[in-house]
């Protein structure tokens, strides 16, 4: 690999200007993500246009994992999916986040002390250089993540650290990196509650019923009104949202954005029968944890149950 190459591997890739291509060569540099198809066709995506990414969890029996990258190109949001084995995608995800966040300017607050610095992510944790001193935080020590308009707050057993970024894009990418890092184990001391939202009340109840038979370690609560679901979440412990997309008063993306305004790390699964690139890109940009095609068959419910068990 060239000196400027951070990662290079073969993958299954789909995205703008590319049909689904197998055995494409994916190259990550400090400035771009480059995909070269076996026929010689090449697509270069500047890292500066990447606004978010999602790691999609494989279904049972599948070995390939997908990293879905949200980009803004030509004033349109588009997605690129990169598929490979779990280990390859896992290692690439860390390098990708590291490249996206390289040199991100921030202000770190520990206790009453605020210092300007720059942030870097590694496979083991987060490092912030502040005035010649490096603050390191291992992923396994993080027990809470919250986000407001200014900062990402990382809670640990010994206190909290607030990281305020100059760019909102860097803040969102940092939160996504933490959300997709397996060693970040957020504490839970109660039976998890999963809120299922669908404007068809019978369907919401049916989904809860089917999920309870497949994954019975959770309390499932059905809502046919997204506003009431939000109000309930404000006053009760909720560990995961599962929401339909097409709802008249507030669609699934609007609900997702409202949830993200309050909680940066709460798992949110968009469970929808409408599957377009635009919806997927918008969902990634809004901070969705995963999106699952709606299916009323046994396998469809089993897929959703596996997603819940993985993200909660």
127 and 159 within one domain: yes
Instruction: Answer with the one of 127, 144, 179 that is the final residue of a domain.
Output: 179
Which of 87-96, 136-145, 146-155 is modeled with the greatest confidence?
Answer: 87-96
Query: Given this model, what pLDDT does residue 211 score?
Result: 92
Instruction: Answer with the one of 179, 203, 224 that is the final residue of a domain.
Output: 179
Among the ranges given (9-13, 23-27, 288-292), the one the predictor scored with the smallest mean pLDDT:
288-292
Among the ranges given (102-106, 145-149, 232-236, 291-295), the one the predictor scored with the smallest mean pLDDT:
145-149
CATH of the domain at 150: 2.30.29.30
Beta bridge partners of 42: 36
The string of pLDDT tens digits covering residues 149-199 is 678 888 888 788 888 998 888 988 898 888 888 666 554 445 789 999 999
CATH of the domain at 219: 3.40.50.2300
The string of pLDDT tens digits covering residues 244-274 is 999 988 999 999 999 988 887 789 999 887 6
Distance (Å, whole) CA 54 – CA 85: 15
95 and 29 within one domain: yes
Can you tell me the mean pLDDT for 121-125? 85
291 and 198 within one domain: yes
- Tokens representing 253? 């993306």
162 and 54 within one domain: no
277 and 232 within one domain: yes
Domain assignment present for 2: no
- Tokens representing 27? 């190259």
Asked if pLDDT for residue 296 goes beyond 70, the answer is no
Domain assignment present for 184: no
90 and 20 within one domain: yes
138 and 96 within one domain: no
pLDDT > 90 in the chain, percent: 30
Domain assignment present for 282: yes
Asked if pLDDT for residue 9 goes beyond 80, the answer is yes
Query: Which run of H or E residues covers position 156?
Result: strand 151-156
Please answer whether residues 241 and 250 qualify as being in contact, where contact means their C-beta atoms are separated by less than 8 angstroms.
no
Domain assignment present for 188: no
Instruction: Answer with the one of 100, 127, 154 that is the final residue of a domain.
Output: 100
CATH of the domain at 13: 2.30.29.150
The structure tokens 């968009």 sit at: 270
Helix, strand, or coil (residue 17): coil
Number of structural domains found in the chain: 3
Please answer whether residues 178 and 169 qualify as being in contact, where contact means their C-beta atoms are separated by less than 8 angstroms.
no
Can you tell me the mean pLDDT for 82-86? 91
Q: Which domain holds residue 255?
A: 193-311
Helix, strand, or coil (residue 65): strand
User: What does pLDDT average to over the chain?
Assistant: 85
Asked if pLDDT for residue 2 goes beyond 70, the answer is no
Give the sign of the dihedral formed by CA 16, CA 17, CA 19, CA 24.
negative
Query: Which run of H or E residues covers position 230?
Result: helix 226-235
123 and 42 within one domain: no
Distance of CA 292 to the CA centre of its chain: 14
């Amino acid at each position: 690999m060239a000196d400027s190459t951070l990662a290079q591997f073969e993958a299954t890739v789909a995205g703008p200007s590319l049909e689904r291509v197998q055995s494409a060569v994916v190259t990550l540099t400090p400035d771009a993500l480059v995909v070269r198809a076996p026929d010689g066709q090449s697509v270069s995506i500047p890292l500066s246009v990447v606004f978010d990414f999602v790691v999609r969890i494989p279904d049972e029996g599948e070995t390939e994992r997908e990293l879905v990258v949200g980009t803004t190109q030509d004033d349109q949001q588009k997605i690129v999916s990169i598929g490979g084995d779990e280990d390859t995608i896992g290692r690439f995800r860390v390098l990708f986040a590291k490249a996206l966040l390289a040199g991100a300017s921030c202000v770190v607050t520990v206790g009453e002390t605020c210092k300007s610095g720059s942030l870097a992510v590694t496979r083991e944790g987060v490092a912030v250089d502040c005035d010649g001193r490096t603050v390191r935080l291992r992923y396994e020590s993080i027990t809470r993540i919250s986000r407001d308009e200014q900062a990402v707050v990382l809670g640990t057993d010994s206190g909290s650290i607030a990281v305020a970024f100059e760019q909102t894009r860097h803040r969102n990418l940092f939160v996504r990196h933490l959300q997709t890092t397996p060693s970040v184990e957020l504490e839970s001391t109660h039976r998890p509650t999963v809120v299922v939202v669908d404007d068809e009340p019978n369907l919401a109840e049916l989904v809860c019923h089917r999920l309870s038979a497949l994954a019975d370690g959770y309390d499932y609560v059905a809502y046919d009104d997204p506003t009431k679901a939000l109000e309930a979440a404000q006053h009760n412990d909720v560990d995961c949202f599962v929401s339909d997309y097409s709802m008249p008063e507030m669609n699934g993306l609007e609900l997702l954005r409202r949830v993200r305004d309050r909680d940066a790390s709460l798992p949110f699964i968009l469970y929808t029968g409408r599957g377009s690139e635009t919806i997927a890109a918008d969902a990634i940009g809004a901070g969705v944890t995963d999106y699952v095609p709606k299916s009323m068959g046994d396998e469809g419910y089993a897929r959703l149950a596996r997603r819940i068990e993985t993200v909660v």
